[in-house]
Amino acid sequence: MKPSRLISLCLTALASVSFGACADELSVAVAANFTAPMKQIAAEFEKDTGHKVIASFGSTGKFYAQIKNGAPFEVLLTADDETPTKLIKENAAVAGSQFTYAIGKLMLWSAKPGVVDAAGEVLKKGGFDHIALVDPKLAPYGAAAVEAMKALGVYDSLQPKVVTAENIAQAYQFVSSGNSQLGFVALSQVLKDGKIEGSAWQVPANLYTPIRQDAVVLDKGRGKPAAEALIKFLKTDKTKAIIKSFGYELS
């Protein structure tokens, strides 16, 4: 074998060994509304870096409580910008690592066509027994839904019909199963190949506080290359394109 060929093979083998040695598993807590895009992002991240994302999906409020109780998460992707700030102040997250990865959009949605009109008048007209939303104490999308209903002057009349979910994925399930005729969900949950199934109204952004979704490296991820790599990857053009394809805005 020629020396040059031997050197090339050795370098390739060395690179492969180094790559494997550097690759790591990363425990990430992700807001439930970001489930679909995160699965796609995680696959691309693993392909590009070798690091494997072990993602858990749920409500921001529950993740906060779990992190404070010692849960082994290394990176957190929330549905708000307050929780990461709070964790940094409490020395449970890394200062300087927080940034807004997406701005969410609130939707009033029904799995059936013709239920939700293009102006959201169904909230005032009624004609339904149940309306689902995620617990506003646990999730920013739930808080946004309450804000919107109050701004429209329908909150008091609709309260008896509200079905509260533990996270926004469950709120979506309540509506998609027909147990609730309509509900407040994230645009990313109902946008399929650029189209919305059923019927929906995108709640005007001026009716609720902007849903700025922030990411942060948690204390257990401090100094870990995989955690730093994910934060960096979330800021790439490739990732931004995926995020936008699910209906989110970028800051």
Q: What is the pLDDT along the chain (251 residues), one digit of tens a residue?
A: 544 443 443 344 344 433 444 689 999 999 999 999 999 999 999 999 999 999 999 999 999 999 999 999 999 999 999 999 999 999 999 999 999 999 999 999 999 999 999 999 999 999 999 999 999 999 999 999 999 999 999 999 999 999 999 999 999 999 999 999 999 999 999 998 889 989 999 999 999 999 999 999 999 999 999 999 999 999 999 999 999 999 999 98
Q: Which amino acid is at 99?
A: F
Please tell me whether residues 117 and 96 are part of one structural domain. Answer: no
Tokens 């807004």: give the residue: 100
| Residues 110, 87 share a domain | no
What is the Cα–Cα distance from 210 to 144, expressed in whole angstroms?
8
- Report the distance separating Cα 228 and Cα 34, nearest Å: 20
Question: The tokens of 102 are what?
Answer: 């997406």
Alpha helices in the chain (DSSP H): 3-22, 35-49, 60-68, 82-89, 122-125, 140-152, 155-158, 168-176, 187-190, 225-234, 237-245
Looking at residue 3, its pLDDT comes to 44
Statement to judge: residues 128 and 70 lie in one domain: no
Residue 16 lies in a domain: no
User: Using an 8 Å Cβ cutoff, are 50 and 23 in contact?
Assistant: yes
Q: Tell me what pLDDT residue 22 has.
A: 63
Q: Which pLDDT belongs to residue 11?
A: 42
Which amino acid is residue 241, in one-letter code? A
80 and 144 in a single domain? The answer is no
- The pTM of the full predicted model, rounded to 2 decimals, is 0.87
Residue 127 lies in a domain: yes
- 200/111 same-domain check: yes
For residue 30, how far is the Cα from the chain centroid?
A: 6
List the CATH number of the domain containing 94.
Answer: 3.40.190.10
Query: Beta strand pairing status for 162-165 and 131-134?
Result: parallel
**Residue listed under structure tokens 């949605």:** 109
- Report the domain count for the chain: 2
- The string of pLDDT tens digits covering residues 8-28 is 433 443 444 334 446 899 999
Cβ neighbour number for residue 182 with a 10 Å cutoff: 26
Q: What is the pLDDT of residues 194-218, one digit of tens each?
A: 899 899 999 999 999 999 999 999 9
Same domain, residue pair 74 and 37: yes
- Domain residues for 131? 104-207
